Chains A and B, each alone.
Chain A
């Protein structure tokens, strides 16, 4: 545990200085600032206004960019250290493979989670200063959702990082996975739905394997308990799982997925040549 702590702290300190972290923090912090500056809290869409409106926009932004940013920053961790000969040096020290791998994951989780939560917290504080109504329940739930989504893609990123031999392959694979999850499944499933070739519940079930879709749907559910915004799929989801059931699913599913990928990555990492 002592070594795990030291690896986590040293990796955290090392990564805080990296350019990707600066860009990552600026993207999420800047997004919140930009949304306030653009007066998004004053606008009204589908009945949502104030801080709720801002949070919805922020979450939509997170759906699109959080997975790819987490993947890009994480996928380079093991393979990047390997290419730069950092791994050779650190693994010549008396550090267990578990301490190295999990220390890196914990550190990366803190690195990706802290900026988005700080940005969210900043929005809430600014809302308080401006005298806006704070949707505490939604803000808290969003923070948890962002945490589980980050964990899910962090695990996937670490898994890819242990699988590939070069950073370029890892980055390419990450972008491909992100595009598939973000765009193609949505587009393909809508196409299938329109063709009426497969029953709706199967299509919705396939969609619910996609952690981005789960996150997106849960984010909508919080402000739109009937899921009217997503059309007929809402019946399948709410009839099968119910409101509370789906909210629980949207937290635990990405969490489990993150753990599965992390463990697969760890077993892959320790089972072969380390360099």
Chain B
């Protein structure tokens, strides 16, 4: 669906993307990870035809800059921060429905409802006056209502509180079964259950591109034991959330989780990597 060959993007003398090559196939659900300034947003903007670049990039076999309307009508995009649009919710919804071939008012209302947002209730309210979470839900509903073949989200949950994030990701899984997804995120643990591939960008190069096969161990119960070098309150709280119990004081813990959760567990526990003496999963 997206074919990138030797893609380079420079801003002045600064090279943001340095000859990257990658293919994104139908059904891929990718976490695009990397530090700030690694080039994630730049890559997304090139895919959306907003930046020019050297090398080759095609989306559905077409150049997104030269075939903007055709390509973008099949892509849904959710930005990191909701833009300060002055329009009312109703006007924004009407605008989005009117410019897309596949979108409709009913479709947008239904998707928003799935995400827990009642558009009817806010239709006359300026988009700006919605809460951060509601704005994000509306933008996601607008993107999903276009029935996109590719859904691109740049830190979509950055504006949501923890419970909102959880609900959002659950709704997202239900909403996008057949959609290829490119998800830019700092926190892999949040999206780990959504994705089947991780691409990491660092200093403009792809440093990791791995498929995540969670099927083999998905329903198996795994036993885990962790030993810390010193007591750590934050780690203890995290492990209690995972229903782990302390063994031999407050340095050693054990617990279980299912295989489908192992990557989420590992990315969560990785925040305390400096304090881990021993970790085993069986």
User: Contact size class for A?
Assistant: 20 to 34
State whether A14 touches B51 (Cβ < 8 A). no
Chain A residues within an 8 Å CB radius of B85 = 14, 86, 89
Nearest-Cβ distance from residue B171 to partner chain A, whole angstroms: 21
Asked whether A197 is an interface residue with its Cβ less than 8 Å from the other chain, the reply is no
Closest A residue to B75 using CB positions: A92
Closest B residue to A97 using CB positions: B68
State whether B50 touches A275 (Cβ < 8 A). yes
Asked whether A240 is an interface residue with its Cβ less than 8 Å from the other chain, the reply is no
State whether B69 touches A95 (Cβ < 8 A). yes
Interchain CA distance A99-B96 in the complex, whole Å: 14
User: 1/0 contact trace for B42-65 toward A, CB 8 Å?
Assistant: 000100111110000000000000
Q: Which of A2-10, A42-50, A125-133, A259-267 contacts B (4 or more CB under 8 A)?
A: A2-10
Nearest-Cβ distance from residue B107 to partner chain A, whole angstroms: 15
State whether A96 touches B68 (Cβ < 8 A). yes
Q: Are A92 and B72 CB-contacts (below 8 A) given A273-B51, A274-B51, A275-B45?
A: yes
B83's contact among A88, A94, A272, by CB below 8 Å, is which? A88
User: 1/0 contact trace for A78-113 toward B, CB 8 Å?
Assistant: 000000111011111111110000000000000000
Chain A residues within an 8 Å CB radius of B126 = 17
State whether A89 touches B83 (Cβ < 8 A). yes
Tell which of A14, A90, A96 has the most Cβ of chain B within 10 Å. Answer: A14
Q: Are A2 and B98 CB-contacts (below 8 A) given A275-B50, A275-B51?
A: yes
Tell which of A85, A91, A92, A95 has the most Cβ of chain B within 10 Å. Answer: A92
Q: Are A91 and B52 CB-contacts (below 8 A) given A10-B91, A84-B84, A86-B83?
A: no
Q: Are A85 and B79 CB-contacts (below 8 A) given A91-B50, A92-B48?
A: yes
Chain A interface residues toward B at CB < 8 A: 2-3, 6, 10, 13-15, 17-18, 84-86, 88-97, 272-275
